[in-house]
């Protein structure tokens, strides 16, 4: 199946048989629900059947890496996707959560040699976040592409 992404490239992926795990944070739920809708639409566009993907919900972006690690340990998935939203506030907490999420996702991906699409938004305000729901689909696309990579 060929699907156009935001850069108008056509990706030829045979993703029907791939197993995908999605981890989505509940914090900033309006945004993460939009990311999840976008991710599910991309999975459908690439032919991934609903029975072949699992959605796991966690409290916030800082918890995403642990959930990814638990999914990776099952060895049931061809790729994973991280979905979350961190909005800058008045304290340095934003910086710590961003660092934990990004480094944790990277560590799980490298430790398990498992593609993980990174759909964790790091934005200054809710308006910016609302305009980036499409990132959920882009994270799915990146994960599927790596899962199907032949080297």
Does the CA dihedral 94-100-103-104 come out positive or negative?
A: negative
Tell whether 33 is covered by a domain: no
Contact by Cβ (8 Å): 23, 77: no
Contact by Cβ (8 Å): 71, 21: yes
Tell whether 54 is covered by a domain: yes
Question: Per this entry, what is the length of the chain?
Answer: 151
**pLDDT at residue 5, rounded to an integer:** 46
Residues 55, 140: Cα–Cα separation, whole Å:
13
**Number of folded domains that form the chain:** 1
Tell whether 21 is covered by a domain: no
Contact by Cβ (8 Å): 147, 115: yes
Tell whether 29 is covered by a domain: no
pLDDT tens per residue across all 151 residues of the chain:
344 445 434 466 678 889 999 999 999 999 999 999 999 999 999 999 999 999 999 999 999 999 999 999 999 999 999 999 999 999 999 999 999 999 999 999 999 999 999 999 999 999 999 999 999 999 999 999 999 876 5
Q: pTM for the complete prediction?
A: 0.91
Tell whether 78 is covered by a domain: yes
CATH code for the domain of 129: 3.40.50.960
Tell whether 25 is covered by a domain: no
**pLDDT at residue 33, rounded to an integer:** 98
Q: Which of 37, 93, 99, 107 is catalytic?
A: 93
**pLDDT at residue 107, rounded to an integer:** 98
- Structural domain of residue 97, as residue ranges? 38-147
> pLDDT over 70 for what percent of the chain?
90
Tokens of 125: 């305000």
Facing residues of 25 across strands?
Answer: 58
**pLDDT at residue 11, rounded to an integer:** 63
**pLDDT at residue 147, rounded to an integer:** 95
Tell whether 18 is covered by a domain: no
DSSP 59: S
The overall average pLDDT reported for the chain is: 92
**pLDDT at residue 16, rounded to an integer:** 85
Tell whether 11 is covered by a domain: no
Burial class (CB in 10 A: 0-12, 13-18, 19+), 110: exposed
Whether 93 is catalytic is yes
């Amino acid at each position: 199946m060929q699907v156009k992404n935001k850069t108008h490239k056509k990706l030829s992926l045979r993703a029907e048989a791939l197993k995908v795990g999605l981890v989505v944070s509940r914090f900033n739920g309006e945004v993460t629900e939009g990311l999840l809708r976008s991710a599910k639409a991309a999975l459908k566009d690439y032919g991934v059947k609903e029975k072949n993907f699992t959605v796991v919900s966690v409290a916030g972006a800082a918890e995403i890496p642990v959930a990814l690690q638990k999914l990776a340990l099952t060895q049931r998935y061809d790729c994973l996707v991280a979905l979350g939203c961190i909005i800058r506030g008045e304290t340095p907490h934003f910086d710590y959560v961003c660092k934990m999420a990004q480094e944790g996702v990277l560590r799980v991906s490298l430790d398990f040699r498992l593609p993980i699409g990174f759909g964790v938004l790091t934005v200054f305000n809710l308006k910016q976040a609302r305009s980036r729901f499409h990132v959920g689909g882009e994270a799915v696309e990146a994960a599927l592409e790596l899962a199907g990579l032949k080297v």
